[in-house]
Chain A
C-alpha cells in the first residue's frame, strides 16, 4: 500500500516537473537532469546564500550528488533542514541520493546548496556558475539564476528583465 502511495507521489511529482523541464534552463550529467538552478538576491558582501534546483534520474541506476562548488562563494555545502522543537536547523549532508523515477526538488525549507561567504552580493537577474559533482556522472557546471530576495520559486525563463 505504502509502495503504491510512493509511486503515486513520484508520478505526481514527475507530472509537476514536466512543465519545468520543458523549459530550456536544464542541464544533464549522465542520466541526471538538473532543472532550473536558482538562488535569491543578497545584499552586502560575505553573506550566505542558498541555491535550489531539481534533480531527475532518467537512468536505471541511482546516482548521488556528493559535492558542489562555485567561484562565487568561499565554500559550497550540501545542506538539509531539520526542525526540532520548532527550531530550524541547517545541517550539512554527505550526499543526496538520486533514485531513478524519484525526482528531487531542492527548495526553500528543504535540501539546498548552501553558499558560504559570497564574494559579491547576488544581484536579482544575475547568474552564477555552480559545479555539481555526481558520484557516477561526474562534474557538470550549471548557471544559477538569481531571483529576488523573497522569491519562493524560480521565475520562468526569459523573465530575467525585471
Chain B
C-alpha cells in the first residue's frame, strides 16, 4: 500500500516536473521566436522629411543605427531614441561616422513635419524616414521589425511594434541587434569597437555632404 502511494506521488511529481519543464522550454522557444529575422543586407526605399527618396545606398560608408517606431509612441520609442542619442554622444568625434535613423511605421499620422520635429528632440543628427505603407512594410521586413495598429482609440490609436535597434555597417551588412532597454554605454561600446575594426577609422573623419544636410530640417 505504502509502495503504491509513493509510486503515485512519484508519478504526480514526474508529471509536474514535465509540465514545468515543458513550459520552460516553450518559454525559451518563444524568446527565440522573437523578431530577429530579416536579411543580412537590408534594402529599403523610404522618404526623408525634406521629400527626397533615400535608399540603403545613400548610407554606404557610414554606420547606420536604425529604429522602427512612431511619433505617437510616448514611452518605448523615446526610451530607445534617447539611448541611441546618448550612446552616440559618448562616441565623440566618431559619431560623425554614424547616422541614427528613425523609421516611422505609422505613415498615416507621421507627416514629414511631425517626424522631423520628433527626431530633433533627441538628436539634431537623427534622420526621420517614412514612406508609403508598402515601402515601410518592405523596409521593416528586411530588418525583421514587426508592427500592427491597435484598434479602439480612434485617431489616438497606438501601434504594437518590435523595439529592436539595428546596427548596420558601412558596407550595408547588419552587425548587431540591440533589444529594448539597452544602455547608451552598450551602444557606444558596440559602435566604438566596430568602428575601430573597420577601415573607416583610418582616414581623418570628414562629414560627407549627405551627413551635414541632416541638420537642415526643423
Contact = CB atoms under 8 A, between A and B. Distances in A.
A156 interface: no
A50 B79 CA distance: 12
Nearest to B164: A86
Given A41-B121, A43-B117, A47-B71, A87 B35 contact: yes
B158 A85 contact: no
Contact of A86 (B35, B75, B78, B120): B35
Interface stretch (B81-89, B129-137, B190-198): B81-89
Interface string A136-148: 0000000000001
B60 interface: no
B72 interface: yes
Contact of A108 (B79, B86, B113): B79
10 contacts: A43-B71, A50-B74, A87-B162, A90-B150, A109-B76, A114-B74, A149-B82, A149-B122, A150-B78, A150-B121
Given A86-B35, A150-B78, A151-B82, 18 more contacts: A43-B121, A47-B71, A48-B73, A48-B156, A85-B30, A85-B34, A86-B164, A87-B147, A87-B162, A88-B163, A88-B180, A90-B158, A109-B76, A112-B74, A116-B156, A117-B155, A150-B81, A152-B79
Interface of A: 40-44, 46-50, 74-75, 81, 83, 85-90, 108-109, 112, 114-117, 148-152
